Amino acid sequence: MKTSRIPGFYKMTVEARRELLEEMHSFSNDDKEILSKEALSTETADKMIENVIGTFSLPLGLGLNFLINGKEYVVPMAVEEPSIVASASYIAKIVRESGGFTAEATERVMIGQIQVVGCPDIHAAKAAILKEKEALIEDANAAYPSMVARGGGAVDLEVRILNEESGSTYSQMLVIHVYIDTRDAMGANIINTMVESLAPTVEELTNGKVYLRILSNYADKCLARARCVIPPELLKSDGFSGEEVREGVIHAYEFAASDPYRAVTHNKGIMNGIDPIVIATGNDWRAVEAGAHAYAAKDGQYGSMTTWFADEDGNLVGELELPMSVGTVGGAIRVHPMAKLSHSLLDVESAQELAQVIVSVGLAQNLGALKALVTDGIQKGHMALHSRSVAIAAGASGELIDIIAKQLVEEKQIRVGKAKELVDSYIK
């Protein structure tokens, strides 16, 4: 049976983990090859971007224990920072004991923007566009008929006037929003093609000049939400009752909700969970990052992406809602072999489902950080895991890595300088 609960996975060798996955996921020979060899060839890389001189690898780990809407998910996470995968898996284990995450996604409507300047009469220009709204939507769809055939395509159009009172011809402008259902694609290229195709007609209708024709990464009509409800008894940890942890998490949330200096760090911790899946699945993490941080400021002040509170039964409730412009097709997804493998591991059927998994992991990651912060502090777990990177940075290799990492933790001196001393003492 496919499960994300694999006790002792972290203690296995990489080889044993791969074998287990091969059994559980009926990997093809191609999948096995991808895991054991250089995934992205220089030849393919050279076709992906410009001026290629090589490839850059990241560790790919698995977030385990994720139960979301009753379905098991093994979550591929590409990330260099220690403790992220362990922390997400640890919280997912707690949450699954209280029934798992619930998640949902809105319809996938993305926004294409067209900027029009220099309209002799900006209100007449707006009216002209709105009068031809249906024809413009049809024209946009004619530029990408395959999206309509999939049940998507342009679905609506709005017009905004920016800086109406401004006397400056630079700042006053008309902005057309074309709303486009991009189905299972992130949609940047689809949207850009559609809005570019409308530019000549828009200039004719407005007597203005079109400059920008591009998607907005503020995808606030393409949202995903995750929620978890955790009884306090599941939150207790060494020396801390569940109630104490719950109260600490809520206080930590209120801090982030009220102070941008804290909120940025709080939200970075959420993106610690989100970016690794976005990267592993070949999606555009800059687009997701930009949209997520903008959404955290939607109420006028940059604040917490998550919300934490206690319900009337004393459970800790966490919620996360974010724009999630990710795809299961398009871009690098079908080009990068590791992205293809990640999709096959995740086994999601749609971009909406992928978005739901991503926000659930973000919520777990946030609780992992907050729980550590309000109990032992972040350094205890983090530095112990970081000690191996410190040992490698100091020149340790092979078995020496774990020996030195252990010694650094025991001596409570997780520093490269100390690690170098230890490496020298072993090599001499």
- Residues 6 or more apart whose Cβ sits within 8 Å of residue 394: 404, 416, 419, 420, 422, 423
What would the two tokens of residue 221 be?
A: 């009509």
Answer positive or negative: Cα dihedral of 305, 3, 372, 403. negative
Rounded to a whole number of angstroms, the minimum distance from the CB of residue 321 to ligand NDP is 20
CA distance 289 to 286: 5
- Which one is catalytic: 22, 72, 81, 158? 81
Query: Closest distance between ligand NDP and the C-beta of residue 282, in Å?
Result: 8
The reply to whether 287 sits near ligand NDP by the rule CB under 6 A is: yes
CB of 380 to ligand NDP, least distance (A): 38
Amino acid at site 403: I
Task: Answer yes or no: are the C-beta atoms of 188 and 287 closer than 8 Å.
Answer: yes
| Residue bearing tokens 């917490």 | 304
Quick one: which of 60, 137, 174, 185 contacts ligand NDP (CB under 6 A)?
Answer: 185
Active site residue 243: no
CB nearer ligand NDP, residue 138 or residue 233: 138
Backbone CA torsion sign across 20, 26, 28, 29: positive
Stretch that binds ligand NDP, among 30-38, 106-114, 246-254, 325-333 (CB under 6 A): 325-333
3-state secondary structure of 396: coil
Catalytic residue among 31, 184, 275, 284: 284
Task: Please pick, among 2, 123, 251, 268, the residue that the annotation labels catalytic.
Answer: 268
327 part of the interface to ligand NDP, by CB under 6 A:
yes
Query: 137, 190, 288, 348: which one contacts ligand NDP (CB under 6 A)?
Result: 190
Complex with ligand NDP: residue 191 or 414, whichever CB lies closer: 191
Q: How many residues bind ligand NDP (CB under 6 A)?
A: 20
Q: Which of 82, 118, 187, 318 binds ligand NDP (CB under 6 A)?
A: 187
By the 8 A CB rule, do 74 and 345 touch?
yes
List the 306-310 sheet strands across, edge first. 102-105, 223-230, 316-323, 306-310
- 150 touches ligand NDP by CB under 6 A: yes
Of 297, 113, 333, the closest CA to residue 217 belongs to: 113
Among 176, 180, 316, 332, indicate the residue that binds ligand NDP (CB under 6 A): 332
Instruction: By CB under 6 A, tell whether 303 contacts ligand NDP.
Output: no
Q: Does 183 bind ligand NDP (CB under 6 A)?
A: yes
> By CB under 6 A, is residue 275 in contact with ligand NDP?
no
284 is catalytic: yes
Name which of 111 and 173 has its Cβ closer to ligand NDP: 111
Question: Which of 31/184 has CB closer to ligand NDP?
Answer: 184
Is 385 in a helix, a strand, or coil?
helix
Q: Closest CB to ligand NDP among 336 and 382?
A: 336
In 3D space, the residue among 347, 344, 358 whose CA is nearest the CA of residue 291 turns out to be: 358
Comparing CA positions, the residue from 339, 342, 319, 323 lying closest to residue 331 is: 339
> Which of these segments, 120-128, 237-245, 326-334, 375-383, binds ligand NDP (CB under 6 A)?
326-334
- Report d(CA 184, CA 330) in Å as an integer: 8
Give the whole-angstrom CA distance, residue 392 versus residue 380: 20
Task: Assess whether 382 carries a catalytic annotation.
Answer: yes
Cα-based distances in Å from 18 to 56, 74, 222: 22, 13, 35
Q: Exactly one of 3, 28, 146, 169 binds ligand NDP (CB under 6 A); which one?
A: 146
Give the one residue of 323, 331, 362, 368 binding ligand NDP; rule: CB under 6 A.
Answer: 331
In order, the DSSP letters of 84-97 are HHHHHHHHHHHHHH
Residues binding ligand NDP (CB under 6 A): 146, 150, 182-190, 215, 217, 284, 287, 327, 329-332
Residues annotated as part of the active site = 81, 268, 284, 382
